Amino acid sequence: MAIVVIINVVIRRRSTLGLVLILVVGVPVPVGAHAALVKSTPARGATVVQPPQRVELIFSERLEPAYSTVAVLDGTGQQVDLRDAGLSPADSRRLSVSLPPLPAGAYTVRFRVLSVDGHVVESDFPFTVGARGAAR
C-alpha cells in the first residue's frame, strides 16, 4: 500500500517512469506479509503409493476466496482434478481440490492465491503417484 502511494506521488509530480522503477525496486517490502505456502498434502516432491483423494495447501496468511485457486495437472499438462478448488470454510488459509483415482505417474500442483494483504503468489510443485507395489 505504501508503495502505491509513493508511485502515485511520483507520477503526479514528475511522470518519470525510470524513477518509479527505481523506487519500486528500492522500497523494502515487508518479508512474510505474503501468503507463503507452509505445508501441503502431498508434500512437495513426494512420491505416494496411495493416490491422494485431494490436494490440500496450507498458507501462512488468510486468502481471498474469489482469487485463490489450485489445479492438479498430469504429465501432459492436462488438468485432472475435479475442478472444485476452494478454501476451507473453517480456515481461509487452507486451499484444497478433489481428485479422481489417479493412475501412477508424475503430477504438478499449480496454485495462484491472493492474500488478504493484496499480494498474488503463484507457484507450482510436483508429486508422484508410484506404481502400486513398486515402492515396497
Which residues contact Cu ion (rule: CB under 5 A)?
Answer: 33-34, 117, 119
C-alpha cell at 48: 505416494
Residue with cell 507452509: 38
Closest approach, Cβ 120 to Cu ion, in A, equals 9
| Parallel/antiparallel/unpaired status of strands 86-87 and 94-98 | antiparallel
**Distance (Å, rounded) from C-alpha 84 to C-alpha 17?**
42
Q: What are phi and psi of 99, to 5 degrees?
A: -125, 145
- Residue number, 63 or 109, with CB nearest to Cu ion: 63
CB closer to Cu ion out of 39 and 119: 119
User: Least distance to Cu ion from the beta carbon of 46, Å?
Assistant: 27
Give min distance, CB of 88 to Cu ion, in A. 20
Specify the residue, 3 or 82, whose C-beta has the smaller distance to Cu ion. 3
